[in-house]
Amino acid sequence: MADTQNNLEFRTQNLELNNSVILLSVDKSWQELVREHLGDVETGHKENGSPTIRSKFQVQGSKFQVQGSNLTSKFQISVSHTKGMTAVLLSDAPCGIDVERTDRDFSRAWERYLSPEEQSLSVSPLYPCAAWCAREALYKRLDDQQKGDTMTQIKIVEADIENNKIIMEHNDKLYEIDTLLHNDYLIAYTIG
């Protein structure tokens, strides 16, 4: 897994991707991160609890620019937080992100969220955390009509932890989930 930073002193960091950006902070809410990056925008939640931004945006290269206000956006956002870390993924495509501490004990939930076949895909000590985060990231990426029982409809078909990739299947479609290590946190995200 790629370790993006060894310095625990960071407070906020932006990781830019093609037409997307991951915002990370140890001491800010997702709303603060979004406003800091995009300016004075309105944040809120949909009826299902997922985050939303209420403004018009346009992607220019890998930079995001506010183009107006009080307009419904086609801009996609995904949010995750765990003890000590907030992660936000902003993209012009459907996206999902999840973050967890790598020292979290997943052993009690292991058999409930992974089938025996999925459990056998990797022996990496990071695999339980990566599998959990990948499943959460894909679930957040799917729209409400696509979601279902995550155990039976979302399956891990390949886990290449050393190369930061997990391939998942949902309704006969494959999704690539990227992972990265950031200090003591594992971040899984999917775009598109």
| pLDDT, tens digit only, all 192 positions of the chain | 444 433 334 456 677 777 788 889 988 999 998 888 887 778 888 887 888 887 655 545 445 554 443 323 557 899 999 999 999 999 888 999 999 999 999 888 888 889 999 999 999 999 999 999 999 999 999 876 566 665 568 899 999 999 999 999 998 899 999 999 988 999 999 998
Residue 64: predicted pLDDT: 52
- Rounded-to-integer distance, Cα 188 and Cα 165, Å: 9
Q: What is the DSSP letter of 58?
A: E
Centre a 10 Å sphere on the Cβ of residue 54 and count the other Cβ atoms it contains: 13
- Rounded-to-integer distance, Cα 36 and Cα 64, Å: 12
* Residue environment code for 61-93, b if the CB has 16+ CB neighbours within 10 A, otherwise e: eeebebeeeeeebebbbbbbeeeebbbbbbbbe
Residue 2: predicted pLDDT: 42
Which residue ranges make up each domain of the chain? 12-93, 98-191
Closest CA to 129 of 151, 142, 114: 114
Direct distance between the N- and C-terminal alpha carbons of the chain, in angstroms, rounded to an integer: 22
Residue 70: predicted pLDDT: 33
Closest CA to 56 of 42, 43, 66, 44: 66
Q: Tens of pLDDT along 43-71?
A: 888 887 888 887 655 545 445 554 443 32
Residue 68: predicted pLDDT: 44
Residue 17: predicted pLDDT: 74
Q: Tens of pLDDT along 98-109?
A: 999 999 998 888
Residue 62: predicted pLDDT: 45
Answer for the pair 161, 122: CB distance below 8 angstroms, yes or no.
yes
Q: What is the DSSP letter of 163?
A: G
Residue 110: predicted pLDDT: 86
